[in-house]
Amino acid sequence: MRINCSNRTSLKGRSMKAAILIQRWYRRYVAHLEMRRRYTWNIFQSIEYAGEQDQLQLSSFFSFMLDNVTQMNGNGPDLISHLLDSVVDPLTEEVRQLKYEQIVVSESYSGPRLSFPLSVTDTNALLSAFKEEQTLHGKYVLQLLYETKKFLKQMPNVIYLSTSYAKEITICGDLHGSLDDLLLIFYKNGLPSAENPYIFNGDFVDRGKKSTEIIIILFAFLLLYPDHMHLNRGNHEDHIMNLRYGFTKEVMQKYKTHGREILQLLQDVFSLLPLATVIDNKVLIVHGGISDKTDLDFLSTVERHKVVPFLDSFVSLEPPEPPREELEWQQVVDILWSDPKNQNGCSLNSFRGGGCYFGPDVTQALLQKHDLCLLIRSHECKQEGYELCHNGQVITIFSASNYYEEGSNRGAYIKLGPELVPRFFQYQVSRSTRKLTLHQRVRVAEGSALRALKEKLYAQRSELMAAFQQYDIDNTGRISTSEWAQVVESVLRLDLPWRTLRPRLARLSADGNVEYGSCFEDISPGEPIPPVTPNLAETLYRYRTDLEIIFNIIDKDHSGQISIEEFRQTWKLFTSHLGVAVNDQTIDDMARSIDFNKDGSIDFNEFLEAFRVVHKLDVKEQQQG
């Protein structure tokens, strides 16, 4: 069969058109996925920073309590002592060391048995045990922390290192309890040693489920290679942050017998971690950032163990000169909490609620003042694991992959040699995501982000409804999309693309307006609610995490129980601070209703469980499963 030239040309033309159409479709498809990926990222980041703003609210509450000191009961200490004082251990260092040595380890215990000073055999045993999901016995954790505390007491606030003694130094960012990332770094880059030094730049704990294992490994290598393993403090090396973000709960679950002692010792260890590291007098490494007030010479003189970064300057011990106390506190907070911005200048970091935003001019001024060339910091999750800004003078490094959700971001670390040119290494711990398509990965992350966002909406339902109804004069249940977006942003203040998100959060009516009540249809209370007013119930939903932190502080022995009188007084103070109109009788009725066995104690975990929200779609899936 012979095909003439005109047929051949026609076939070729149709093929080209088909190829162009497929290409256009694919580009639109990828662009749409990228848009979803970006707003998913924005949701995760905005909610994370909003949570840190809640920490500022909690700090403000503690300050309020200092001005309104209320005795929790006639004989016991007041709440302030619970919040601000660590338990004073009257034992001498020698007696405490002997006490830890005398803790009996059962013969049935099959995990590592450490001996001090540590050897390579000990660190290898720890790594092998944690890979097998084993838990280190509390005796050895206490001994390890005790030795770490002794070592850190001798360390300065700012560590000065040189690359002349090693080919390269490896710098890692936030790990946040992700043991898989730490093990992957060691697999790719080698274990810490005299020939392979490391700097870990803070935020070892919280959020992830293996924070305990991470600090044990890092502290063990710190003791084994004190000149070649270096740890900077992060803003999450703080016992109040640990109450909110999970580390305290993790320790108490894994160490029911010795958990309280471990937490007390950790509080001391965290307060003694160095604040900054300088390489070759040219590269400054801090966890968060700097401000226009940052002075490395002054920072070197701060009594770092006396400063409590999260709470406020009022918590620091009282030195003879209050102005210096305030200055010390501000220096430490700026180092741990600040973020870079593209615009010049230095301003309060209102998004996080702590530290500041510093511009390229602030970076340039600090580098020139101290004859430096580069600032390396962490503190912010980046999609590629690292990011450069301020004309390449600031590098952000983040080492926890899949931070927000499986597949959400890569982790990375930096290698820096004598030439001080950073080399970046990226990775991603993959379990289920390796089998998923790009579309599936985006869908999973997006679903998780939207669930978190809907919980935010539900927690402020009455405020949102009141604002919606101001636009809905005829009480139709509908307002325009622009009005809906304006209301949601004014109430939640998350700086999100609400018009883009609207189809995933609320439906349109036939006339094209938003049915604003549909925002709350997918979520509902998780447990039967105690008999409380709607106003009080919503306050509990919104401030549930803050209350959990306060109750946990009051609950010194971590039993999950507080007295009914402690509950009453705490809740009265909290509602007074928030300006929520709840009368004393309502609070008393609620307290009595949750004293289930009438013994004068309240299981606050059970109480707070009633104020979680559940997603109806999740419930349906569980029922179908």
Active site residues: 236
Long-range contacts (CB closer than 8 Å, 24 or more residues apart) made by 19-22? none
Which 3-state string (H, E, C) describes 192-215?
A: CECCECEEECCCCCCCCCCHHHHH
Residues 6 or more apart in contact with residue 131 via CB below 8 angstroms = 183
Dihedrals phi, psi of 302, to nearest 5 degrees: -70, 140
E-assigned strands of 445-567?
A: 478-479, 514-515, 523-525, 561-563
Altogether, the residues listed in the chain come to a count of 625
What's the one-letter identity of residue 59?
Answer: S
Distance CA 146, CA 139 (A): 11
Distance CA 169, CA 171 (A): 7
Instruction: From residue 540, give the alpha-carbon distance in Å to each of 70, 183, 285, 326.
Output: 22, 40, 40, 34
Listed residue (164, 159, 198, 166) closest to 182, CA to CA: 198
Distance CA 109, CA 107 (A): 5
Listed residue (134, 83, 540) closest to 314, CA to CA: 83
What's the one-letter identity of residue 358?
Answer: F
Contact by Cβ (8 Å): 611, 529: yes
78 alpha-carbon distance from chain centroid = 30
Please state, as a whole number, how many other Cβ atoms lie within 10 Å of the Cβ of residue 340.
24
E-assigned strands of 335-393?
A: 339-340, 346-348, 356-358, 374-377, 386-389
In the 8-state DSSP scheme, what is residue 512?
Answer: S
